[in-house]
Amino acid sequence: MTAARAYYGDVELPERFNLCEYFLDHNLTAGRGEKVALNCSGVTRTYAQLSTRARQVAAALRRRKVRPEERVLFVLPDGLEFAEAWFGTLRAGAVFAMVNPLLKAEQFTYYLEYTKARVAFVHREALGEFGSVARNSRWLETMFVIDGAGHEGVDYERAIDAEDPQSELAKLEPTGPDDLAGWLFTSGSTGHPKACVHSHGDFAYSTETYALQVAGYRESDVCLSVPKLFFGYATGTNLMFPFRVGASVVLFPGRATADELFDQIERHRPTLLTSVPTMINNMLRSPRCDTADLSSLRVALSAGEALPAQLYGEWKARTGVEILDGIGSAEMFHIYISNREADVKLGSLGRIVPGYEAQIVGPDGLQVADGEPGRLRVRGGSTALCYWADRKKSIETFQADWCTSADIFRRDQEGYYFYEGRDDDLLKVSGIWVSPLEIENALLKHPAIAEVCVVGAEDEERLIKPMAYAVLNPGYVGGPELALELKEHVKRLLAPYKYPRWFEWRESLPKNDRGKVARKELKLR
């Protein structure tokens, strides 16, 4: 085999390469055809069954004249059909574009206009918001509806069952590593989400580096995820990566809550949990935490937002389960800096993943010294080609195979990376830049604080000072007395000017569709 692109480095890919074969079909030749690949609400698919269904999906797409590199829109909850349609789309050489099925009509209108998808996979429960948008779309021609008997669109089961998995229409498209495979959407923190355009080789690169060399996926793993499959973090950790090694995946379509997670762990005994800091915190606050049997878990992964050191320490002490915190992005597909088993540095996101390079640069674009904060630049074989239909933003972010992020980091002399926040989150207090995360971590060390978000607010002289939105643990009551206590607590831990001037007590903090605290929403209040 020869390398398809020089900057794939040590990851060699053949000239003809399709992710459906790489992730799914290879399990049949490896003798895993009868092994359970997916389990969703007690219904299973073996690798052989899933491969057959992917062939039928590919045939159904081609019957509707879907051509290679055309976008196919996914508006689906986690389920067997998501995986079937996802692999079938890749098998046909088309490009997946995945969105949250719980969005509203206005957001679906944007995604249909932006992707110009002629075909969409939609669950019946999303038709209330998606249906009217679909009828008025200039582009959409075919809507496969899951659980859609008697509803508008094409009934998914009937359409798939009608196809011969051995037909010419079901054949594997002879794509190469550089052919387009998927769009991953940014979180839209500064306007509408944009699509990061990725090739087949990009997804394989992250698999061969992060998944196999850092997270250490094994054939014996049973994988469970808090975030849903439409989010690239979960598409990787709970579909691509486990399938690469022939592991098993547990899916559930409903909302991820602490109770749901404890139930799924009790029922399926997973070994690898994909999580986010918010859910780690919710599980720790649950009355079930200290009695739940988590002994099946060998490791938990965390990404999506910063994991406070206090939260990591409490989780490790109470559950005994290691957390590998890391950072990735839609621009790079997946995690490129991460802690490792037996190599976790408290408060850090770990070291660079093998196969990637990183720099921390100042406003002039030059690297800063260790210990100094700056913007993170990273490169590797999974760098997106561009933001679709946004030339200006693409030029600002992508420089050949380098990706310059809006994330502020510092690196210590041992090569561990510490997240300081995004460049537009930093606060200038008393003329000095302050990271909200530093204040949040200090507040979380107080027993009253369950969850907190710090943003900037103007005082009476229109100067920016820290303000804290706080969720309290049971037994604590918000008010002036507690606010004063928390201010003094922060002053003891940090420089005095960093303490929050104001507190607002909340029952909960707003979250976006990826489970992150919606800091922007709080900043706008």
Domains of the chain: 18-37+46-175 (3.40.50.12780), 203-422 (3.40.50.12780), 427-523 (3.30.300.30)
User: Residue 252 and residue 42: Cα distance in Å, rounded?
Assistant: 10
Looking at residue 438, its pLDDT comes to 85
Give 303-331 pLDDT, tens digit per residue.
987 788 889 999 999 999 999 999 999 99
Give 185-234 pLDDT, tens digit per residue.
987 655 689 999 999 999 999 999 999 999 999 999 999 999 999 999 99
The pairing of beta strand 357-361 with beta strand 374-379: antiparallel
CA angle 220, 224, 229 (to 5 degrees): 120
Give me the half-sphere count of Cα atoms (radius 13 Å) on the Cβ side of residue 218.
9
DSSP 257-323: -HHHHHHHHHHH--SEEEE-HHHHHHHHHSTTTTTS--TT-SEEEE-SS---HHHHHHHHHHH---E
Band (pLDDT 50/70/90 cuts) for residue 2 is: very low
The arithmetic mean of pLDDT across residues 334-340, rounded, is 97
Q: At residue 6, does pLDDT exceed 70? A: no
CA angle 250, 252, 257 (to 5 degrees): 115
Looking at residue 430, its pLDDT comes to 62
User: Residue 270 and residue 282: Cα distance in Å, rounded?
Assistant: 19
Q: At residue 5, does pLDDT exceed 60? A: no
Give 258-288 pLDDT, tens digit per residue.
999 999 999 999 999 999 988 998 999 999 9
Looking at residue 515, its pLDDT comes to 73
Q: Do residues 466 and 434 make contact, with C-beta atoms less than 8 angstroms apart?
A: yes
Looking at residue 4, its pLDDT comes to 45
Burial string for 194-208 (b: 16+ CB within 10 Å, else e) reads bbbbbbbbbbbbbbb
Q: Residue 248: phi, psi to the nearest 5?
A: -115, 150
Q: Is 443 helix (H, G, I), strand (E, B) or coil?
A: helix
Give 486-515 pLDDT, tens digit per residue.
999 999 998 788 899 999 999 999 987 767
Q: At residue 7, does pLDDT exceed 80? A: no
Looking at residue 110, its pLDDT comes to 95
Give first-to-last CA distance, the chain, whole Å: 56
Q: Do residues 463 and 470 make contact, with C-beta atoms less than 8 angstroms apart?
A: no
The arithmetic mean of pLDDT across residues 74-87, rounded, is 98
Give 108-148 pLDDT, tens digit per residue.
999 999 999 999 999 999 999 999 999 999 999 999 999 97
Give 383-410 pLDDT, tens digit per residue.
999 999 999 999 999 998 899 998 889 9
The arithmetic mean of pLDDT across residues 415-426, rounded, is 85
Looking at residue 254, its pLDDT comes to 92
Band (pLDDT 50/70/90 cuts) for residue 16 is: very high
Q: At residue 1, does pLDDT exceed 80? A: no
The arithmetic mean of pLDDT across residues 92-110, rounded, is 95
The arithmetic mean of pLDDT across residues 26-50, rounded, is 97
Looking at residue 149, its pLDDT comes to 73
Looking at residue 189, its pLDDT comes to 53
Looking at residue 504, its pLDDT comes to 95
Closest CA to 157 of 56, 46, 15, 271: 56
- Average per-residue pLDDT in the chain? 92
- According to DSSP, the residues that pair with 457 across neighbouring strands are 465
